[in-house]
Each structure stands twice: as structure tokens, then as C-alpha cells.
Structure 1
Amino acid sequence: MNKLLCTILIITFFSCSSNNDTTSNNDDIYKPKGLFTSSFGNETALDNKQVNGSLIRVTWSDIEPRKGEYDFSKIEQFLIPIKLRNIKWSLGIIAGGDSPNWLIDDYGAEYFEITRVDEALKRIPKIWDSKVNERLAYLAQALADSFADDEDLVLVYVPQMTANGIEGHFNGVPTAQLTNVGLTADNWVKSVKETTKIFANAFSNKAIAVEIHDVMDNTSIPKQIMTDLWNDNDLNHRVGAAIWWISGKTTYQANLLEALTIFPGDIYAQAIGRSDQIERFEDDDFTSIFNQAKTIGIRYIELWEYEFVNNTFPLDFENFNNYSNITFE
């Protein structure tokens, strides 16, 4: 596909989507709040009275195994127990190292390799290669055609070309390694914002979340992404920031925590680990995440399935749900 045709396709995609209620009144957009489970291999997690919904995570490679051929059966299977319980759900498409092989091998997207913390070697498509967002635009529209009309879908995460495919960082990959393959602050910010607009335009009636971390040890990069998207009039305050690392601690990404505390937009979170991993939390206290959430102004937290299966802190769960219901519209 030549670059001119690609540009026309993306412009057409944005234009058509913009005419499809993209600038609708923000009051019409339901934004989730309270506690969700981040997964549910054990469906009893969904039976906990403090669970408002669940995140469904699937890989891009699973749902588009061949270019233009979509298989959403995994999402649909996860939806069965959710629908039976009449609760809400969020959607996260894992890209990055779990992008389909055809994107690189057949479609020719540029990539680089990283070794993840689990020592797995992963090929990461370069989000600043226009071919990547070209294909993400088709994926977003196919997903929206199938699920955007579902009123129980309340939050859509933006896929990212990162170590785990949703979180906005590279899990300790040295900055020099990233800059050597062409990553810059400018091309990262521009490309992540482009991906976000693709998904926001496809899901024009949904809240959208972009997970943020410091990139290349630089807080200004995620700060610019979340601020620019929140202030984009075309997006009408639908795009919030997400942190999948809330721990109660203030020493990890301290500058970004300060930026989030004064951020006027919506903030979504996921606990950094299970409550039995006590060393991951401030003063070995899992419940410190709830105090931190209130300090920062977080409206929604995904806890690991473990918490709801074992009902580890029922009073704290209830208190946070009550807080979020009172505090956020």
C-alpha cells in the first residue's frame, strides 16, 4: 500500500468517525468507577458483591491471526459469565510483542527486539512506522463494529507497542537501546496520540484509557500525552490516564505521581500486584493503595482476581466503592 493511499484511508477513517457522535455531549458517556477485577480464571471472583465489572484482555495476534481476518471468540467466551451476572466490562487489546507476526513478516512493519523481564525475546513493531497505526485503525473499527453498541462495555484501553502491549513502558530496557532504534520523545508522543485517536474515534461512545509510565526516564513524555489528549476538544474529555502500578508507594515514578495528582482528567488504575506480595506495597500494606487513590483522585481500580476470590479486604473494598460513587459522576 503506498503512503498516499494509506494517508487517504486514515483521514477518511477519522472523518467518518468524527461524524459519528465523536463530539457528542460528554454527559452521554458512562465512565466506570469503583472496583473491577483485572482477570477471572476463577469465575467466583465475579460473584464478589464489590465487583462492579471485569477487564477482558486478549492479544492482537489471537484476534487477528491473519491480516483482515478477525476472530473475537475469546472475547465472546469471556463475556458469557459477565453477562450472566449483569456486570460491566473493560477491554484491553495487548499489542507490542504480542502483535501478529504477519504485521512484520508480511506487511513489512519495522520493528526492534527487546528481552523482557521474563527473558523472553520479543519483536516490538515501531509505533512510529505508519504501517502500524494503519493496521490498528482497521482493528479498532472491526472491534467497534462488534462491541461498541454493548452498553456494558464501559472502558477501552489503547494498545501500545511496548513490552507488555498495554502499559506505556519497556520494563527496564536501557534508554540507549531505545534511542539507537529510533525512539524519540517526539515520535513516541505523536504516535501514541495517533493510536489513541484511532480508538477514540472508533469507540466514539466510550471512555478511553491510555496507560502511562515514564519513558526513557522522562516524565515529560507521559505528561504531554495525557495532557494533550485530555485537552483535545475533538475527544471531549473521554480519554483518561491509566496507571497499572498503584502500590501506595510514593518513591516509584514520583514525578509522574505528582503530575497525576494535579491532572484534571479521569484516572484509572490497576493494583501493582496481589495482596500476598506484601513487599510491593507501602509499609507492606495492600490497603495503602486505597488511600493513595483518594489522594490522587483515581475513580476506578482493577484488583487482581486473588482479592475477590479470597475476599481479602471486604470493608476496604466497600469503602472504596462508596467513595467512588460519591466522588465521581
Structure 2
Amino acid sequence: MRINSYYIILISLLCINVKGNHNEFKTPIYAIVRSNTSDANLIKVLENPQVAGITYYVGWSKLNPEENIYDFASLERILTITKQYNKKINLGVLTGRWSPDWLENKHVKYLYWEHSDNYVEKGKVCQAKSPLPWDKTCNDFFKFFLLQLKVIVDQNQNIFNAIEITGGSNTNGIETNLICSNKELSRVSFSYFKYTENWKKIIDEFIELFPHTVLTLAIHDTYGSERTDLVSKELIRYCTLKYRKRIKIAAFAFTEEQWFNKGNQYADLVLQLHTQSIMLQAIRIYSNISNTNQDFYNMLLKADKIGPAWLEIWSEDVIAGFLNPR
């Protein structure tokens, strides 16, 4: 009886170990790498067998530091290293508060707000500004920049998994929201129609410039103090009817927490869609907070159950060992 009990316990432990192994996840995982990530950490991320590729965030200002001056050295370095590991890359060029300073001399109109981030910037609070998302002068400069970027993308087409549609919001240019006070919204004559139509124009431009690459559009529901899904619903409808499978709808606030379930306005924007037409991004850097390895693991389990086209996590969590077998 003691021998039988021993084997029962041993088998149980082995089963627990299998259930806790990240190798079981079927959803492709991409690690978010920012432009300040060292080569050593980038390589550490790419060496992880659970990582299908990286999502590279780089500011427009870094790639276009002066008018008519383009510096793609940092991007080309990332592409070279990623290619060496036979991994894929998602590219997001951040606009909004990451737009180049030289725009200020071009009569571009700006939006101002107090920026705070408890998720990936460790509670950082600062006074921020960005060009108005619908400012024509700024958008014309960004489109000309994208024409230069297109050359790099076309030369490395086989390594790109997707490109994020950016340019339409103030914080990072990506998510379809507008973060500022209601007073500031009034000052800049914000309207939902103007904001939505500008995003449609940006979507059309990305489709035209990058016809052979999957694109992603990150939805949101916050505008000043108001929460509404009307903008994102209209943009999802527009993408679905006009471009079908070319654009995947993204949610950048995915978490293990119960609020991200059906019935929540934000979550419903993606959870009502076909799973392979969406992608998810972890809301936070879990390793910034103590004792969250289990939360991180629960988030992975939840994503795998939903089954998106891929899941994006932060490279800091990969480096911290959160993605290693448990």
C-alpha cells in the first residue's frame, strides 16, 4: 500500500508539473521590445523558445529626428538580430507624445494633458503634449515619413508579422482613445465624427502603403471623462466591411482580472469577434509588481482559452523568467 501511495503521489506531482509548463500554450507569444532595450536583453528574449517574435515600439521622433532626416539604423539593427533567430516582428511607430519636436515649428496644433501610467511606467506622472490627431500638417509629415519606412518594410517583408496602425491618438498614437480633460477636449473642438473620420483616413493610408502586411488596430473607449464604444464599433465595422482579414482588432488591456470578460464594454469589442481576427496585449509589466508570477500565468491561460491570433507580453517579464517553465 505504501508503494502504491508513493506512485500515486509521484504521478500526481508529474501531472501538476505538466499543467504548470508554459510549453502547453498554443497561442503565439510576442514580446514587446522598446527602443531603449539593450542588445543583450533583446537576445535573451529572442533565445526564449516560447517567444514567436517581438513587437518593436519605437518613437517617430527617433526615426525622423529632423525634418527630411531619417535614421533607420536602430530599426535595421533590430531586424538583423531578430532575423538571426528566425523570429518575426510586429512594428509600432509611436506618434502622439513620441512625435518629433521639430513639428512645433510647422504651425502644428497641440493637445495638452497630465499623463500617468501605473501599468508599464511604474506610476510615472508628467505634463504631456502631442499634435492634435486630426492636424493636417502633422498627418502630412507622418505620411511622408511612412513612405520612407515603406522602403525598409518592403526590403524585409518576410520578417514582418504585422504593422500597427498609428497616428490617430495622443498618448502613443495607437489606441483609438483621447486622454485629456473635458476642458481640453472643448478647447480643441473635439467631435466624435471628426475623430472617427480621421482614423478611417489613417487606416486607408496604411492599407495603401503596406499592401502585403497584416495590420492591427487597437480599440479603446475613453474620451476625456466619457466612456463610449461608438468610435471603436464604427472603426471595427469599417475595417471588417472594407478590408476583411487584412486588419486584426487589438485590445491592449488584457489581464487575468475578471473585468476583462464578456459583458464589459471594452472587452466586448474584441470578444464578440472571431478569435483569429483579434490580438491581445498584456495590460501591465507583471514583474514590476511583486508576487505576480501566478497572475501572469493565469493571464496566459486565459489568453489561450480565448485563442487570439497572438498575444503580446512585455519583454521585462520574459527577462524576469516569468515565461520559463514552472
How many angstroms apart in 2 are the aligned matches of 1:69 and 1:211? 29
Correspondence 1:111-260 to 2 at 5 A: 111-117=110-116, 118-150=124-156, 151-160=158-167, 161-171=169-179, 173-216=180-223, 217-232=227-242, 235-251=243-259, 254-260=264-270
Q: 1:284-303 deviations in whole A, cap 9, x for unaligned?
A: 72233234334544221111
Structure 1 alignment gaps of length 5 or more: 1-32, 317-329
CA RMSD of aligned residues (A): 2.5
SS at match of 2:216: strand
SS at match of 1:115: strand
Q: 1:126-152 deviations in whole A, cap 9, x for unaligned?
A: 122222322222122211112224211
Number of equivalent positions: 279
Higher strand proportion (structure 1 or 2): 2
How many angstroms apart in 1 are the aligned matches of 2:231 and 2:302? 23
Structure 2 residue 79 is matched with structure 1 residue 71: no
How many angstroms apart in 1 are the aligned matches of 2:113 and 2:260? 23
Give the partner amino acid of 2:163. V
Shift in alpha-carbon separation, 1:67–1:313, aligned structure 2, 3 A: closer
Structure 2 residue 271 is matched with structure 1 residue 271: no
Check whether the contact 1:37–1:54 (CA below 8 A) recurs between aligned residues. Answer: yes
Shift in alpha-carbon separation, 1:250–1:213, aligned structure 2, 3 A: farther
What TM-score does the superposition give when structure 1 sets the normalisation length? 0.77
Among 4, 28, 34, the alignment partner of 1:34 is 28
How many angstroms apart in 2 are the aligned matches of 1:280 and 1:190? 44
Which residue is 1:312 aligned to? 322
SS at match of 1:249: coil
SS at match of 2:296: coil
How many angstroms apart in 2 are the aligned matches of 1:192 and 1:295? 31
What TM-score does the superposition give when structure 2 sets the normalisation length? 0.77
Superposition deviation, residue 72 in structure 1: 0.6
Q: Among all aligned residue pairs of Structure 1 and Structure 2, give the percentage whose two residues are the same amino acid.
A: 21
Which residue is 2:19 aligned to? none
SS at match of 2:206: helix
Which residue is 1:97 aligned to? 97
Moved more, 121-130 or 58-67: 121-130
How many angstroms apart in 1 are the aligned matches of 2:47 and 2:290? 28
Check whether the contact 1:155–1:208 (CA below 8 A) recurs between aligned residues. Answer: yes
Greater C-alpha Rg: 2
